[in-house]
């Protein structure tokens, strides 16, 4: 019987994983990552978010590695990662829908200044104010037009936002003004009133949400980061908020997670903190996705959503 080791959600999540895999891949043995009864050479597949460095390389019959998220930087950080094996990024249908919902919520929160209303409510203050613009007057710029970004574009358009997008290679998405590469980044930013980061963590994107980029946005722009904490320099974001260059930020990801109690982001009046929940597909959705890819692999069909070591995502 083929075996998958799972390290996602802790050992306590195993009964749930086993229940869902039993539905979609009844012939798969589903075992906890640290189950000492499983011999390393009996492991065919791994599903993990952040395996300890060196562990994957010690599984001689491993065939496919599954990231339990869309971003697999917690796996590729392993210097001894077996690079010859397929590394599959998580992309069930529900994940892009959830991200689209999060981005729409964040964009509307910034548009309506929901943070200000929440602070006023906490102080029992009835203070009416008018949002400066409508959605139709607020271009949203999405950095990253992959699985997550392209779905977010379509859902934002449904709310009436004009949408612009930026990616590494040229894209053509219905109704979206598309920009490509470093040469077109400034043009992309210049009319983006709400900037949304849905990039993967790579050498090129590391620290991209910093003072030089923020200065290129129109004054008073909003920021949403649902990519990775490594994309942002939090002190630059706070400085831009305090100076009025940014009017608000919704941050879902942080350099250190959980966000430490002492972080100035927690209490900042213009920052909404969410605990890395922009798109968390259910374990059932993920088990179904993994089972489908294992069926493809077993049948010799090509695998979708593979990590590409050359491009870094």
**Binding pattern for the stretch 220-259 against ligand GLV, x by CB under 6 A and - elsewhere:** ----------------------------------------
Partners of residue 6 on adjacent β-strands: 32, 47
For residue 148, what are the contacts with CB-CB under 8 A and spacing of at least 6? 70, 95, 96, 99, 100, 198, 226, 279
Identify any residues that bridge with 249 across adjacent strands, giving them in sequence order: 223, 271
How many other C-beta atoms lie within 10 A of the C-beta of residue 86?
Answer: 15
Which partner from the list ligand NAP, ligand GLV, none does 146 bind, CB cut-off 5 to 8 Å by kind? ligand NAP
Residues 85, 265: contact at Cβ < 8 Å?
no
Q: Does 67 bind ligand NAP (CB under 6 A)?
A: no
**CA–CA dist 131, 113 (Å, integer):** 7
Partner that binds at residue 169, options ligand GLV, ligand NAP, none, CB closer than 5 to 8 Å by kind: ligand NAP
- The site string for ligand GLV over 265-304 (x = CB under 6 A, - otherwise) reads --------------x-------------------------
188/175 Cα distance (integer angstroms): 15
Q: Which residue is nearest to ligand NAP (CB)?
A: 146
Q: Which of 140, 213, 226, 238 binds ligand NAP (CB under 6 A)?
A: 226
Residue 276 annotated among the catalytic residues of the structure: yes
Active site residue 311: no
- Residue 204 contact partner, candidates ligand NAP, ligand GLV, none, CB within 5 to 8 A by sort of partner: ligand NAP
In DSSP notation, 13-53 reads GHHHHHHHHHHH-TT-EEEETT-TTS-GGG--EEEESSPPT
Check binding of 146 to ligand GLV (CB under 6 A): no
Q: Is 313 in the site for ligand NAP (CB under 6 A)?
A: yes
Which run of H or of E encompasses 273?
strand 271-273
Nearer to ligand NAP, 120 or 157 (CB): 157
CB of 5 to ligand GLV, least distance (A): 19
| Candidate ranges 9-17, 66-74, 139-147, 203-211; the one touching ligand GLV (CB under 6 A) | 66-74
Judge contact between 131 and 137, C-beta under 8 A.
Answer: no
By the rule CB under 6 A, 71 interacts with ligand GLV: yes
Calpha distance 297→25 (Å, rounded): 13
| Among 31, 55, 115, 228, the one annotated catalytic | 228
Residues that bind ligand NAP (CB under 6 A): 69-71, 91, 99, 144-149, 166-169, 198-202, 204-205, 226-228, 252-253, 276, 278-279, 313
């Amino acid at each position: 019987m083929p075996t998958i080791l799972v390290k996602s959600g802790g050992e306590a999540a195993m009964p749930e994983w086993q229940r869902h895999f039993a539905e979609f891949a009844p012939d798969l043995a589903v075992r906890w990552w640290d189950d000492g009864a499983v011999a390393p050479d009996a492991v065919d597949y791994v599903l993990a978010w952040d395996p300890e460095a060196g562990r994957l390389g010690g599984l001689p019959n491993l065939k496919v590695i599954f990231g339990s998220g869309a971003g697999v930087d917690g796996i590729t950080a392993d210097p001894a990662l077996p690079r010859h094996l397929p590394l599959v990024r998580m992309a069930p249908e529900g994940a892009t829908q959830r991200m689209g919902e999060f981005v729409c919520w964040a964009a509307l929160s910034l548009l309506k200044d929901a943070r200000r209303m929440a602070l006023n409510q906490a102080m029992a203050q009835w203070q009416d104010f008018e949002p400066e613009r409508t959605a139709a007057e607020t271009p949203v710029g999405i950095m990253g037009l992959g699985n997550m970004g392209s779905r977010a574009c379509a859902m934002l358009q449904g709310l009436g936002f004009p949408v612009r997008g930026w990616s590494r290679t040229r894209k053509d998405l219905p109704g979206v003004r598309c920009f490509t590469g470093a040469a077109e980044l400034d043009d992309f930013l210049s009319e983006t009133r709400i900037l949304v980061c849905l990039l993967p963590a790579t050498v090129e994107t590391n620290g991209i949400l910093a003072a030089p980029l923020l200065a290129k946005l129109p004054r008073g722009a909003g920021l949403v980061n649902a990519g990775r904490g490594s994309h942002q320099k939090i002190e630059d974001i706070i400085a831009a908020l305090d100076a009025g260059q940014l009017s608000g930020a919704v941050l879902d990801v942080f350099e250190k997670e959980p966000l430490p109690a002492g972080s100035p982001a927690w209490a900042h009046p213009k920052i909404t903190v969410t605990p890395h929940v922009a798109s968390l597909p259910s374990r059932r959705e993920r088990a179904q996705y993994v089972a489908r890819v294992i069926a493809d692999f077993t049948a010799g069909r090509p695998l979708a959503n593979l990590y590409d070591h050359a491009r870094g995502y």
